[in-house]
Amino acid sequence: MTSRPIISVRNLEVGAMSRHGMLRPLRGIDLDLPFGQTVGLVGESGCGKSMTARALLNITPAPMRITGGTIILDDGKAPPQNLSALDPDGVAMRAIRGARVAMIFQEPMTALSPVHTIGDQIGEMVRIHRKLGRREAKAHAIEMLDMVSMPNARQRYDAYPFNLSGGMRQRAMIAMALACGPDVLVADEPTTALDVTIQAQILELLQRLQADLGMTVLLITHDLGVVARTTKRVAVMYLGEIVEEASTIQLFDTPLHPYTQGLLSSVPRLGSRRGRREPLPTMRGTVPSALVELAGCAFHPRCTKAVAGLCDVIKPVMAEVNPGHSARCLLYPEVLVASKRGSSVVQPEPVS
């Protein structure tokens, strides 16, 4: 039912040594981006969503680096390549970055240079990757501004980020990311910094462009509403791992993982059956730091359904519970069996 993945991530790990021990923001990510689809990646702050985005472009912030796993890019333009094996600053990686896999960021005000015009920053893409001259790059940049429905594109070419409203800045950012016609767009919280009406416009724009250009989009957000309206498939992240993966409809219909259930129940809804005076349920605790090494399931200390002697002992693996719907929770027999078979029984380490 899913088409060939354009990006296929297997067991991706990102880490760095710190004075407190090994930091492991990504602990073995498996993720497929099917060609031409929008996949959502959700989770709380600090769960590794943004790190996943950066790892896909091999721009993990120093001292973080990819310590294991593969990221296979297979966009048909070149033989499949493993991005995690490329030198982050090397020619091969830089030729892919921006041209074949592009990224848009959360805060367009700070993510665009304050002292360069947006036209220059958009045109830079084609100057780098297509070696276009200034004049051609300018024409292309104006075309891109038109494409993202920037009003007065020609005049806006010379505008600086601070001349523009938040929504227009994000349009400029999108124009920049798409300037080389990338096949994959990684959007890291593209609407979080915008107010609600502008959010809707930007999401519509992204959906329109995705459909028009046949792009594959990885949409990273903590906003389940955004996921529900824009994505076909969703992956839920917790502490550097994917804990549930399903089609968007399945996930909202029958969330399997207690973490996903918690996320969904803590979204306020208008006209819900819940009484007005009943407080919105919240999950206890927060995502542990990337330093923490837990025996068993990473979520068990916060889980309301955790079974002592099981969840704090056996490390769960991802397994398909319903067709096309996988989870990483030992409460499901399929997962339990797979976890035991995968010989991933982890003895609780002695507390030092």
Partner 1 sequence: MWRFILRRLMWMIPTLVIISIISFIIIQLPPGDYLASYIARLESRGSNVDQATIDSLRMRYGLDDPLIVQYFKWLGNILLHGNFGYSFEWRLPVSQLILERLPMTFMVATASLLFAWSVALPIGIFSAVKQYSLADYFFTVLGFLGLGIPNFMLALVFLYVSNRYFGLSVGGLFSPAYLNAPWGIHKILDLLSHLWIPVIIIGTAGTAGLIRITRANVLDELRKPYVETARSKGLHPMLLILKYPVRIALNPFISSIGFILPGMISGEVIVSIVLNLPTTGPLLYSALLSQDTYLAGAFVLMLAVLTVIGVLISDILLAWLDPRIRLS
141 or 176: whose CB is closer to partner 1? 176
- Is residue 35 within 8 Å of residue 5, measured between CB atoms? yes
Nearer to partner 1 among residue 16 and residue 111 (C-beta): 111
Cβ 108 to partner 1 shortest distance, Å: 9
For the chain, the residue count is: 352
Which of 53/243 has CB closer to partner 1? 53
SS3 state of residue 275: coil
Which of 111, 200 has the CB closer to partner 1?
Answer: 111
Say which residues have a Cβ less than 8 Å from residue 35's Cβ, sequence separation at least 6. Answer: 3, 4, 5, 6, 216
DSSP E strands in 74-159: the ranges are: 81-82, 101-104
Choice between 51 and 330, CB closer to partner 1 = 51
CB 102 → partner 1: shortest distance, Å? Answer: 7
The residue assigned the tokens 């207690």 is 258
Q: Report the residue number, 53 or 147, with the smaller CB distance to partner 1.
A: 53
Chain residues binding partner 1 by CB under 8 A are 54, 57, 59, 61, 89, 93-99, 102-103, 105, 107, 110-117, 124-125, 128-129, 160, 162-163, 173, 176-177
Sheet holding 241-247, edge to edge: 101-104, 184-188, 216-221, 38-42, 233-238, 241-247, 325-327, 319-322
Minimum distance, C-beta of residue 171 to partner 1, in the bound complex (Å): 15
> Shortest distance, CB of residue 125 to partner 1, whole angstroms?
6
Residue 311 class from Cβ within 10 Å (0-12 exposed, 13-18 middle, 19+ buried)?
Answer: buried
In the complex, the smallest distance separating the C-beta of residue 64 from partner 1, rounded to whole angstroms, is 12
Pick the closest to residue 48 from 185, 225, 188, 183 (CA basis). 188
Closest CA to 253 of 243, 262, 264, 242: 264
Query: C-beta of 346: minimal distance to partner 1 in Å?
Result: 35
Where does residue 181 rank: exposed (0-12), middle (13-18), buried (19+ CB within 10 A)? middle
Amino acid letter for position 158: D
> At closest approach, how far in Å is the CB of 15 from partner 1?
19
The residue (of 179 and 329) whose beta carbon lies closer to partner 1 is: 179
Q: Which residue has the tokens 């129940």?
A: 265
Hey, CA dihedral for 272, 285, 227, 247, is it positive or negative?
negative
CB of 80 to partner 1, least distance (A): 19
Q: Looking at beta carbons only, is 1 or 115 nearer to partner 1?
A: 115
